[in-house]
């Protein structure tokens, strides 16, 4: 039986079609690098679905063209082949990338070879062979029910897989669109932060210039007056109307504070007493501001407030805006400094309806806003690398340097960022910049899409249930139709008493096999059997007893025969058996001996043992046989020679 198929070019043609198709699919996937853009499961299902459909088409084509000369497929062979190829290719596609780079071209050859070899063996041994055997052996009912069940399963899985792929693509398209909308909205909101940041800073610049030109202050600078309540009250009024101002100070040339208005621990504005004033000559901003020309303004980076040489606790991030104070002759007499509370300045960004957590960084990646105090300490202490973006998220930080705005995918979510350049009119320093970032965690995206995800899952579940019901109904109707056709087929092609093939069916199969053997120059053997003295049973015990003997004899023939052999009742007590190629005379004689041996056991005839014999004639398709009818006549003649030789024996026709 195996040689029948493996010697048939059509079998190799089927394997060739599968191998070439798989190679084309894999080439397409690798050429366009779809492995990198789609998930492994989606690729695997796509590949397996295409190759299974091609395998069904190829099998149907070969079968309809009658290329499988000796093969007969049942109603669901196509579906079984498609399901088997689908399962094999799905496993290959999921396992192969675990051991090698799936984008390499030589993987195409490996995938095609594995599918061809494994698929060919499985399809042949578990689909082709059972289909033929079931046809020859007439065990159709169980095979038909099993085929219908698996046919329904494969049909459901194939259709549901295609629907699932469509929904998967729609789902991810909508998720991507939703994510893009969120990211664009977040980025647009971040880009508006320039206005909010610059607004307060520009006011501070104008206030510093205005206060530096205050007449009362100029009198002090010109030596015409001493520090008085009028100047202090003026500073205090500025601080009152500007909640973002932490300090307003006038510092002399020696670095000593001459006037200082600040917010105390109760957030109230107060004028600091003269004995509490400090010297700030060592602070970096003092020399920076004092070196400026008239009308120029210095804006510091964010750092922590220091009082009497120590970082103030609780921590207060500050931005300092300052300008020099000059007398009438243009000589510098000190500096005017306004301390802005950086937290309040930066908090305005949080109110812009942003979804993510706002983090503001300086140009070196230090946390300015949005992190705990541990991050702020990095602004003043050597261990600053422990609390900045550059050390904690180096890949994100590196990508941020490539553009002024955008978003970056990280393992824990998305970083949306915008570079804010501080370049206010009046500044003398080179413009410096901050990074305003919004971190949107994966949980936020999940929450935003939870409703849509639930809707998609509900929809695909409902579709799956409806599809299952529809497929079940279709295959139930199909099963009833097949069962009806099977009954008609059985009545037309099978003996009603023994269940064996009838003469018409046997003749059709025999003719088909005989012609195939002629083409392939192979031998088949036909056996003609006749029960010895059967007429005496009918005459003595009646026709019912004769029918019982015929059924018992048919059962014994089936037990000693191969699955590939075709057994038929030609009529009365005459039977025939076809041994399919390749068959030798020795094989035929061994089989005949088994038949004779099976007759040694008495028949059960009305609960009494009854001995019977059988005469067997054997003929092989010798070259002189022009057609199957001649070979059948040779077997018939051999059977009569066996009877003449004493009955209950066999005789092989001699071609000579």
- β pairing state of 650-652 and 614-620: parallel
Cα 67 to Cα 54, 126, 409: the distances in Å are 17, 20, 56
Q: How does DSSP assign 292-350, residue by residue?
A: SPTT-BEEPPPEE-EETTEE-SS--EEEEEEEEEE-TTS-EEEEEEEEEEHHHHHHHHH
User: What does the alpha-carbon distance between residue 344 and residue 263 come to, in Å, rounded to a whole number?
Assistant: 14
| Average pLDDT, rounded, for the chain | 78
Residue 639 has pLDDT above 90, yes or no: yes
Confidence of residue 349 (pLDDT cuts 50, 70, 90): low
User: What does the alpha-carbon distance between residue 302 and residue 299 come to, in Å, rounded to a whole number?
Assistant: 9
Confidence of residue 656 (pLDDT cuts 50, 70, 90): low
Confidence of residue 373 (pLDDT cuts 50, 70, 90): very low
Residue 6 has pLDDT above 60, yes or no: no
* Mean pLDDT to the nearest integer, 541-560: 91
Token digits of residue 397: 């930080």
pLDDT of residue 135: 45
User: What does the alpha-carbon distance between residue 635 and residue 590 come to, in Å, rounded to a whole number?
Assistant: 16
Check residue 438 and report its DSSP letter. Answer: E
Confidence of residue 595 (pLDDT cuts 50, 70, 90): very high
> What backbone phi and psi angles, to 5 degrees, belong to 350?
-65, -20
- Domain 503-652 fold: Alpha-Beta Plaits (3.30.70)
Residue among 235, 237, 236, 217 nearest 227 (CA): 217
Instruction: Output 394 or 336, whichever has higher pLDDT.
Output: 336
- β pairing state of 357-362 and 432-441: antiparallel
pLDDT of residue 278: 94
* Mean pLDDT to the nearest integer, 559-579: 91
User: What does the alpha-carbon distance between residue 449 and residue 464 come to, in Å, rounded to a whole number?
Assistant: 22
Whole-number percent of the chain with pLDDT over 90: 18
pLDDT of residue 192: 77
**Cross-strand bridge partners of residue 298:** 322
Residue among 179, 188, 185, 182 nearest 405 (CA): 188
Residue 52 has pLDDT above 70, yes or no: yes
Residue 581 has pLDDT above 70, yes or no: yes
User: What does the alpha-carbon distance between residue 101 and residue 104 come to, in Å, rounded to a whole number?
Assistant: 6
Instruction: Output 377 or 156, whichever has higher pLDDT.
Output: 156
Q: Please, which residues have CB within 8 angstroms of residue 470's CB and are 6 or more apart in sequence?
A: none
User: What does the alpha-carbon distance between residue 473 and residue 262 come to, in Å, rounded to a whole number?
Assistant: 84
* Mean pLDDT to the nearest integer, 182-210: 82
* Mean pLDDT to the nearest integer, 76-95: 76
Q: Please, which residues have CB within 8 angstroms of residue 479's CB and are 6 or more apart in sequence?
A: 144, 145, 148
pLDDT tens by residue, 259-274: 899 988 788 889 898 8
Tracing tokens 């000796």 back to the chain, one arrives at 70
pLDDT tens by residue, 19-50: 778 777 776 776 655 554 456 667 778 888 88
Residue 2 has pLDDT above 50, yes or no: no
Highest mean pLDDT among 445-454, 526-535, 579-588: 526-535
pLDDT of residue 250: 92
pLDDT of residue 641: 93
pLDDT tens by residue, 315-340: 888 889 999 999 888 889 899 999 99
* Mean pLDDT to the nearest integer, 603-612: 86
Residue 475 has pLDDT above 50, yes or no: yes
Cα 331 to Cα 99, 298, 429: the distances in Å are 79, 18, 22
Confidence of residue 427 (pLDDT cuts 50, 70, 90): low
Q: What is the SS3 string spanning 470-514?
A: HHHHHHHHHHHHHHHHHHHHHHHHECCCCCCECHHHHHHHHHHHH
Cα 63 to Cα 68, 235, 566: the distances in Å are 6, 100, 21
Q: What is the dihedral of CA 461, 464, 468, 471, to 10 degrees?
A: 160
CA atoms within a 13 Å half-sphere pointing along the CA-CB vector of 269: 19
Confidence of residue 11 (pLDDT cuts 50, 70, 90): low
Please state the separation of Cα 261 from the chain's center in Å.
65
Given a contact cutoff of 8 angstroms between Cβ atoms, the answer to whether 101 and 15 are in contact is no
Given a contact cutoff of 8 angstroms between Cβ atoms, the answer to whether 304 and 246 are in contact is no
Whole-number percent of the chain with pLDDT over 70: 76
* Mean pLDDT to the nearest integer, 110-121: 70
Q: Which of 69-83, 146-160, 355-369 has the lowest mean pLDDT?
A: 69-83
Q: Where in the chain is the domain with CATH 3.30.450.20?
A: 204-346
pLDDT of residue 642: 92
Given a contact cutoff of 8 angstroms between Cβ atoms, the answer to whether 251 and 337 are in contact is yes
Q: Which of 367-376, 447-456, 507-516 has the lowest mean pLDDT?
A: 367-376
Given a contact cutoff of 8 angstroms between Cβ atoms, the answer to whether 452 and 181 are in contact is no
Q: Which of 136-145, 230-239, 313-322, 419-428 has the lowest mean pLDDT?
A: 136-145
* Mean pLDDT to the nearest integer, 274-295: 91
pLDDT of residue 469: 92
User: What does the alpha-carbon distance between residue 542 and residue 571 come to, in Å, rounded to a whole number?
Assistant: 18
Tracing tokens 């195409």 back to the chain, one arrives at 108
Cα 210 to Cα 64, 251, 427: the distances in Å are 98, 16, 15
Residue 466 has pLDDT above 90, yes or no: yes
Query: What's this model's pTM, rounded to 2 decimal places?
Result: 0.49
Q: Where in the chain is the domain with CATH 3.30.70.270?
A: 503-652
pLDDT of residue 439: 86
Tracing tokens 């191998």 back to the chain, one arrives at 19
User: Is the sign of the CA dihedral 7, 8, 12, 14 positive or negative?
Assistant: negative
What is the three-class DSSP state of 432?
Answer: strand
Token digits of residue 213: 């030109």
Instruction: Output 588 or 77, whichever has higher pLDDT.
Output: 588
* Mean pLDDT to the nearest integer, 168-188: 82
Instruction: Output 318 or 11, whichever has higher pLDDT.
Output: 318
pLDDT of residue 280: 93
Residue 544 has pLDDT above 50, yes or no: yes
Residue among 296, 336, 295, 340 nearest 317 (CA): 340
Check residue 125 and report its DSSP letter. Answer: I
* Mean pLDDT to the nearest integer, 158-187: 79
Tell me the CA end-to-end span of the chain in Å, nearest whole number: 29
Residue 651 has pLDDT above 90, yes or no: yes
pLDDT of residue 223: 66
Element (H, E) at 362: strand 357-362
Residue 371 has pLDDT above 60, yes or no: no
User: What does the alpha-carbon distance between residue 504 and residue 508 come to, in Å, rounded to a whole number?
Assistant: 6
Strand ranges in 12-132 using DSSP code E only, listed in sequence order: none
pLDDT of residue 132: 46
pLDDT of residue 338: 94
User: What does the alpha-carbon distance between residue 60 and residue 245 come to, in Å, rounded to a whole number?
Assistant: 85
Instruction: Output 442 or 297, whichever has higher pLDDT.
Output: 297
* Mean pLDDT to the nearest integer, 238-246: 86
pLDDT of residue 375: 46
Strand ranges in 513-591 using DSSP code E only, listed in sequence order: 525-531, 566-571, 574-579
Instruction: Output 197 or 571, whichever has higher pLDDT.
Output: 571
CATH, range 204-346: 3.30.450.20
């Amino acid at each position: 039986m195996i040689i029948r198929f493996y010697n048939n070019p059509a079998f190799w043609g089927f394997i060739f079609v599968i191998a070439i198709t798989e190679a084309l699919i894999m080439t397409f996937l690798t050429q366009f690098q779809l492995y990198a853009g789609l998930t492994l499961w989606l690729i695997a299902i796509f590949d397996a679905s295409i190759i299974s459909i091609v395998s069904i088409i190829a099998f149907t084509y070969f079968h309809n063209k009658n290329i499988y000369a000796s093969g007969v497929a049942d109603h669901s062979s196509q579906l079984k082949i498609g399901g088997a190829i689908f399962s094999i290719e799905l496993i290959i596609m999921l396992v192969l990338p675990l051991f090698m780079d799936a984008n390499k071209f030589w993987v195409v050859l490996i995938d095609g070879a594995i599918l061809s070899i494994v698929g060919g063996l499985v399809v042949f041994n578990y689909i082709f062979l059972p289909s033929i055997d079931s046809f020859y052996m007439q065990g159709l009912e169980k095979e038909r029910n099993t085929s219908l069940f698996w046919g329904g399963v494969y049909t459901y899985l194939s259709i549901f897989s295609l629907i699932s792929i469509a929904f998967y693509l729609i789902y991810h398209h909508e998720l991507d669109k939703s994510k893009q909308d969120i990211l664009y909205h977040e980025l647009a909101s971040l880009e508006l932060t320039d206005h909010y940041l610059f607004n307060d800073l520009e006011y501070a610049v104008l206030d510093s210039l205005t206060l530096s030109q205050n007449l009362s202050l100029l009198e002090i600078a010109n030596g015409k007056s001493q520090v008085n309540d009028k100047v202090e009250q003026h500073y205090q009024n500025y601080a009152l109307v500007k909640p973002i101002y932490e300090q307003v100070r006038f510092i002399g040339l020696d670095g000593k504070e001459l006037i200082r208005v600040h917010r105390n621990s109760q957030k109230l504005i107060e004028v600091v007493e003269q004995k509490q004033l400090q010297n700030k000559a060592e602070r970096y901003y003092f020399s920076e501001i004092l070196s400026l020309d008239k009308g120029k303004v210095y804006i510091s980076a964010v750092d922590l407030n220091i009082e009497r040489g120590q970082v103030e606790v609780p921590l207060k991030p500050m931005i300092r805006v300052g300008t020099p104070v000059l007398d009438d002759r243009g000589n510098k007499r000190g500096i005017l400094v306004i301390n802005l509370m950086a937290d309040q300045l930066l908090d305005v960004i949080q109110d812009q309806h942003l979804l993510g957590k706002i983090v503001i960084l300086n140009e070196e990646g230090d946390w300015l806003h949005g992190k705990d105090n541990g991050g702020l300490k990095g602004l003043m202490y050597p261990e600053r690398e422990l609390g900045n973006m550059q050390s904690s998220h180096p890949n994100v930080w590196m990508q941020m340097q490539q553009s002024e705005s955008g978003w970056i995918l990280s393992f824990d979510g998305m970083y949306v960022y915008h570079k804010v350049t501080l370049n206010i009119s009046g500044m003398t320093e080179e413009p410096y910049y901050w990074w305003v970032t919004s971190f949107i965690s994966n949980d936020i995206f999940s929450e935003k899409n939870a409703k849509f995800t639930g809707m998609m899952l509900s929809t695909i579940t409902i579709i799956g249930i409806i599809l299952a019901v529809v497929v079940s109904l279709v295959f139930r109707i199909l099963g009833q139709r097949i069962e009806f056709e099977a009954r008609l087929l059985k009545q037309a092609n099978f003996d009603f008493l023994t269940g064996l093939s009838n003469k018409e069916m046997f003749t059709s199969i025999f003719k088909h096999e005989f012609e195939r053997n002629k083409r392939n120059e192979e031998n088949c053997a036909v056996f003609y059997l006749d029960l010895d003295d059967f007429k005496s049973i009918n005459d003595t015990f009646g026709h019912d007893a004769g029918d019982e003997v015929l059924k018992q004899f048919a059962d014994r023939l089936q037990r000693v025969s191969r699955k590939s052999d075709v057994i038929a009742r030609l009529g009365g007590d005459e039977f025939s058996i076809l041994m399919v190629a390749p068959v030798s005379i020795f094989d035929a004689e061994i089989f005949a001996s088994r038949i004779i041996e099976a007759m040694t056991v008495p028949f059960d005839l009305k609960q009494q043992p009854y001995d019977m014999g059988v005469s067997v004639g054997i003929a092989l398709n010798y070259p002189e046989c022009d057609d199957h009818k001649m070979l059948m006549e040779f077997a018939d003649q051999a059977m009569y020679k066996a009877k003449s030789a004493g009955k209950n024996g066999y005789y092989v026709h001699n071609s000579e």
